[in-house]
Structure 1
Amino acid sequence: MIKLFDRNNNIAILIAGIFSIIIGLGVARFAFTGLIPAMLDDYITIKFVGILASLNFAGYLGGSIFSIFIKDINFKVYLYRLGVFLAITTTFILAFSSNDTLWLIGRVLGGFAGAMCLIVGTSIVMQKLTIKSKTKAMGIHFSGIGFSILTTDLIARFVLSMGYTWRDSWTILAIFALVLSVYSMYILSFDKEIKQNAVKVKFDFTIFTPFVIVLIIAYFTEGVGFVVQATFLPDIINNLKGLDGFGSITWTLVGVAGIPSCIIWMLLAHRFGSSNIIIIALLLQAVGILIPVLSSNVYLNLLSGVLYGGTFIGLVALFMNLGGQLSKGNPVVLMGAMTSSYGIGQVIAPLYSVYFIEKYGSYDYALILTAVIVVAGAILLLLAKKFEPEIE
């Protein structure tokens, strides 16, 4: 037990990393999705939800790109702590403020906080781990994304089930994040300042081969595919005939399916090739997106949550892993391009979704367009396979 408070213990580092993801993504991002049905009942509109989601992803995009170019590990620790602070503070805003402007600013800062907790936090975890196979360790670390959805959803649902309001849920979630932050900030720091040699990054644009360009476009389509369900899934399910109340269960299944997904997809990629597995995962995600359009069967729609949770985390890992392999040992430029592409998809998708929802009074058109975009990404990648370079 004492070793769990040892900053250099690998298990402690992995636990702290998962706590960071729960704080930055679970509390500051995904909990919002689970609480949308309750907030729609007495406070926000679906249009405002879309705007808030778009701004949240814009904040995440900005933080992601910014973090890619930060090399000093000591500065990363400060940025990580800033992210934890912002994640908790912006959650308290949702609990106690009724000012729309504060909510808008809070969601942007919450998105930035998510990038600091996930991307910067992950780089600190990588630096501190002394495990030989860091790839396997990262599979455990990224299972935190699934845990972040599951834990925050269960907490929010429990508070609501006790007769309290969605604002009370935000308060409890903020306090929960505050408790986790004490441990994660203590472990994810260093006993003394780490001395590093300055690394000069050479911008080698020859990495942008036809296949890499298609990979970047395909990652954009996954950014679109990720967002619509990440933003609206519980409300989508609740609006289906006979499924009112099943939205929260579906969202819980997203978290459960997400926990092992990264490890499973990476193992499959190692055996069958990353691009092949990305295509399969994209097509499975498209099927999950279309299920609420084609059927109101309860089991099929619960399956849609499993397909979503089981693909979106794995796809991020698959794309980033393949991009790293194609970057010729200098991933900064390619990672920046891929992250930007994914982020643009995230920002756009909630906005066109709101347009279709308001125009037609249904999620169907937004879901159909999203599925078409995701399938287009899979087809483009399939066609581009003949240009795929061999990876040593």
Structure 2
Amino acid sequence: MLKLFDRNNNVAILIAGIFSIIIGLGVARFAFTGLIPAMLDDYLSIKFVGILASLNFAGYLSGSIFSIFIKDINIKVYLYRFGIILAILTTFVLAYSHDNTLWSISRVLAGFAGAMCLIVGTAIVMQKLTIKSKTKAMGIHFSGIGFSILTTDLIATFVMSLGNTWRDSWSVLAIFAIILSFYSMYILSFDKEVKQKAVKTKFDFSIFTPFVIILIMAYFAEGVGFVVQASFLPDIINNLPGLEGYGSITWTLVGVAGIPSCIIWMFLAHRFGSSNIIIIALLLQAVGILIPVFSTNMYLNLLSGVLYGGTFIGLVALFMNLGGQLSKGNPVVLMGAMTSSYGIGQVIAPLYSVYFIEKYGNYDYSLILTAVIVVGGAVLLLMAKKFEPKDID
């Protein structure tokens, strides 16, 4: 038990990393999706939901790109702590503020906080771990994304089941984040300042081969595929005839499916090749996106949640892993380009979704366009395989 409070214990480091993801992504981002149906009933409009989602991902994009260029691990620790605190403060805004401008600002800052908790926090976890196989360890770490959806959804649902409001759920989630933050900030720090040699890397643009350019385009498609369901899934399901109230269950299944997904997809990629598995995962995601368009069957729509949760986390890991292999030891430029492409997709998708929802009164056209873009990414990658280097997994 005492070892769990040892800053250098691998298990403690992984637990703290998962806690960080729960705070930065679960509380500061994904809990918003689960609470959308309740907030739509008495406060938000669907248009404002889309704008808030887009602002949140814009904040995450800026934080992601910013974090790529921070090399000093000691500065990363301070940024990570700042992200934790910012995630908690912006959650309290949702609980107590009635000002739309403040909500908008808070969602941008919450997105930035999420990047600090996930990307910077992951860098600290990687630095501190002493496990030989860090790849397997990171699979466990990224299972925290699934846990972040599951835990925050269960807490929010439980609070409202007691007759409380969605604002009370935000309060409880913020307090929950505070409790986790003490442990995660204590473990993910160093006993003394870490001395590092300054490593200078040149911007080698020769890495942008035809295959890499298409990979970046495919990652844009996945950014689009990720964000529509991440923003609206419970409301999508609740609006289907006969499935009112099933949105919450579907969102819970997203979290459950997401927990083991990264480990499974990375194992398959190692065995069958990353690009092959990315194509399969993209096509499965597209199927899940289209299910609510063509069916009101309860089980099929629950499956759509499983397919979403089972693919989006794994796809991020698959793309990043493949990008790392293609970066020729200089990942900054390529990771920046991939992250930007993914982030642009995240920012655009909620906006066109809102346009279609307001114009047609349902999610169908938004989901169809999203699925077409995701399939397009898979087709591009399939066509690009003839350019793929032979020396990668």
- TM-score, length of structure 1 as denominator length: 1.00
Q: 1:148, CA displacement in angstroms? A: 0.1
Are positions 1:224 and 2:224 aligned together?
yes
Listed as ranges, the matches of 1:201-350 within 5 Å are: 201-350=201-350
Q: Are 1:77 and 1:188, in contact at CA under 8 Å, matched by a contact in 2? A: yes
Matched, 1:63 2:67: no
Residue 173 of structure 1, CA deviation: 0.1
Give the CA deviation at 1:156. Answer: 0.3
Tell me the residue number matched to 1:53: 53
What secondary structure is seen at the aligned counterpart in 1 of 2:201? Answer: coil
Give the equivalent residue in structure 1 for 2:16. Answer: 16
1:263, 1:294 → 2: CA distance? 31
Deviation at 1:391, TM superposition (A): 2.0
Structure 2 CA distance, aligned partners of 1:73 and 1:53? 30
Structure 2 residue aligned with 1:26:
26
Aligned to 1:44: 44
Question: Could you tell me how far apart the structure 2 residues matched to 1:120 and 1:361 are?
Answer: 40
Kindly state the Cα deviation for residue 201 of structure 1 after the two structures are TM-superposed.
1.8
Q: Aligned partners of 2:300, 2:212: CA distance in 1, in Å?
A: 35
Counterpart AA for 2:234? P
For residues 3-26 of structure 1, what are the alpha-carbon distances to aligned partners after superposition, in whole Å with 9 as ceiling and x for unaligned? 100000000000000000000000
Structure 1: runs of 5 or more not aligned: none
Gaps of 5+ in 2: none
Deviation at 1:141, TM superposition (A): 0.2
Q: How far apart, CA to CA, are the structure 1 residues paired with 2:192 and 2:5?
A: 17
Q: Detail structure 1 runs of 4+ shifted over 4 Å in the superposition.
A: none
Tell me the distance in 2 between the aligned counterparts of 1:129 and 1:171. Answer: 33
**What's the % identity of the aligned pairs?**
87
* Residues 325 and 391, structure 1, Cα contact 8 Å, conserved in 2: no
Report if aligned partners of 1:326, 1:391 keep a CA contact under 8 Å in 2: no
Partner of 1:336, secondary structure, is helix
Matching of residue 184 in structure 1 with residue 184 in structure 2: yes
Q: Which residue of 2 aligns with 1:74?
A: 74
Map 1:52-131 to 2 at 5 A: 52-131=52-131
- Tell whether the 8 Å contact from 1:61 to 1:339 is kept in structure 2 after alignment: yes
1:272 Cα offset (Å): 0.3
Shift of 1:270: 0.2
Displacement, 1:348? 0.1
TM-score (norm 2): 0.99
Report the CA distance between 1:390 and its aligned residue: 1.4
**Residues 310-354 of structure 1, C-alpha deviation per residue, up to 9 Å, x if partnerless?**
000000000000000000111110000000000000000000000
What amino acid is aligned across from residue 90 of structure 2 in structure 1? T
Deviations 1:179-200 (A, max 9, x none): 0000000000000000001111
Query: Following the alignment from structure 1 to structure 2, what is the Cα–Cα distance between the partners of residues 228 and 320?
Result: 21
Secondary structure of the 2:182 match is helix
| Aligned-partner Cα distance in 1 for 2:356–2:201 | 44
Using the alignment, how far apart are the partners of 1:132 and 1:271 within structure 2?
20
Give 1:296 shift.
0.2
Distance 2:26 2:18 in 1: 10
Structure 1 position 96, deviation (Å) = 0.3
CA-atom RMSD, angstroms? Answer: 0.4
Residues in 1 aligned to 2:4 and 2:327: alpha-carbon distance in whole angstroms: 36
Q: Deviations over 1:73-115 (max 9, x none)?
A: 0000000000000000000000000010110000000000000
Is 1:175 aligned to residue 175 of structure 2?
yes
Give distance in 2, aligned partners of 1:140 and 1:211.
Answer: 29
In structure 2, the residue matched to 1:200 is 200
Equivalent residue number for residue 141 of structure 1: 141
Question: What SS does the corresponding residue of 1:309 show, helix, strand or coil?
Answer: helix
Give the AA of the match of 1:13: I
